[in-house]
């Protein structure tokens, strides 16, 4: 059964929208960019988020201590490494009991074996097209998160062509740069109904 992660949540209205339709994961971005949250903001959103929905923290080459603090404070329970984090960093997170998703942005950042618990294959930020089945044909030993240019309109066709463990979406459920509750609901329904 493919799961769905809604990433880049920023406001309590975003949280209300996801609580309503219950995706399998929620994503808080700590990396620089327009979705960036402070730890205080993430802690506030976590308090509003349905306790059954795990929250994932997205980091790009952040210090280990920063990632661990976000977990220890309770903002997130899973770390998504979206930069060039080393195997040693990933193992240190795991040693502290934190599950890790390692993201690879294809084609610029080719997949390589990783000790992470999950692998994310992501098309470039701002890419117009999802990754193709040929690009997804990697020797993975972990469950796959598929990200990049996925929308409520294209996700069913993508799922017919490949069956990732998790569909990951952020900009694909936004309108004019803000999370759109209707698009979130449609995306979650399309993924959950496909199963």
Ligand X SMILES: O=C(O)c1ccccc1NCC(=O)[C@H](O)[C@H](O)COP(=O)(O)O
Residues engaged in binding ligand X (CB under 6 A): 7-8, 29, 31, 33-35, 58, 60, 82, 122, 147-150, 168-172
Angle between helices 64-72 and 87-95 (to 10 degrees): 30
In the bound state with ligand X, the residue whose beta carbon lies nearer, of 8 and 164, is 8
In degrees and rounded to multiples of 5, residue 153 shows phi and psi of -75, -35
Least Å distance, CB 40 to ligand X, is 18
Residue located via tokens 């117009």: 128
Q: Tell me how far CA of residue 66 lies from CA of 38, 39, 69, 76, in angstroms.
A: 11, 9, 5, 12
Contact present, 25 and 166 (Cβ < 8 Å): yes
3-state SS assignment for residue 116? coil
In the bound state with ligand X, the residue whose beta carbon lies nearer, of 23 and 148, is 148
Least Å distance, CB 142 to ligand X, is 16
In the bound state with ligand X, the residue whose beta carbon lies nearer, of 62 and 71, is 62
In the bound state with ligand X, the residue whose beta carbon lies nearer, of 26 and 149, is 149
Tell me the residue number closest to ligand X, measured at CB. Answer: 33
Least Å distance, CB 34 to ligand X, is 6
Per DSSP, the chain holds a count of helices (H) and strands (E) of 7, 10
Least Å distance, CB 60 to ligand X, is 5
Least Å distance, CB 163 to ligand X, is 18
In the bound state with ligand X, the residue whose beta carbon lies nearer, of 71 and 169, is 169
The span from the CA of 68 to the CA of 62, in Å, is 10
Structure tokens that stand for 150 in this block: 């996925």
For residue 91, the tally of other CB atoms under 10 A from its CB is 13
Least Å distance, CB 101 to ligand X, is 9
Structure tokens that stand for 114 in this block: 């990783």
In the bound state with ligand X, the residue whose beta carbon lies nearer, of 26 and 29, is 29
3-state SS assignment for residue 147? strand
């Amino acid at each position: 059964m493919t799961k769905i992660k809604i990433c880049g949540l920023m406001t309590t209205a975003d949280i209300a929208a996801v609580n309503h339709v219950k995706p399998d994961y929620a994503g808080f971005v700590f990396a620089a960019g327009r979705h960036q949250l402070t730890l205080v903001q993430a802690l506030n959103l976590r308090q509003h988020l349905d306790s059954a929905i795990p929250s994932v923290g997205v980091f790009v080459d952040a210090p280990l201590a920063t990632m661990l603090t976000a977990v220890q404070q309770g903002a997130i329970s899973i770390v998504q490494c979206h930069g060039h984090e080393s195997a040693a960093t990933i193992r240190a997170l795991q040693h502290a009991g934190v599950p890790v998703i390692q993201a690879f942005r294809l084609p610029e950042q080719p997949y390589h074996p990783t000790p992470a618990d999950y692998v994310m294959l992501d098309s470039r930020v701002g890419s117009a097209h999802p990754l193709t089945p040929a690009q997804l044909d990697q020797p993975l030993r972990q469950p796959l998160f598929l990200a990049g240019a996925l929308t409520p309109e294209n996700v069913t066709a993508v799922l017919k062509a490949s069956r990732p463990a998790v569909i990951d979406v952020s900009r694909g459920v936004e309108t004019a740069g803000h999370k759109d509750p209707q698009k979130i609901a449609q995306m979650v329904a399309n993924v959950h109904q496909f199963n």
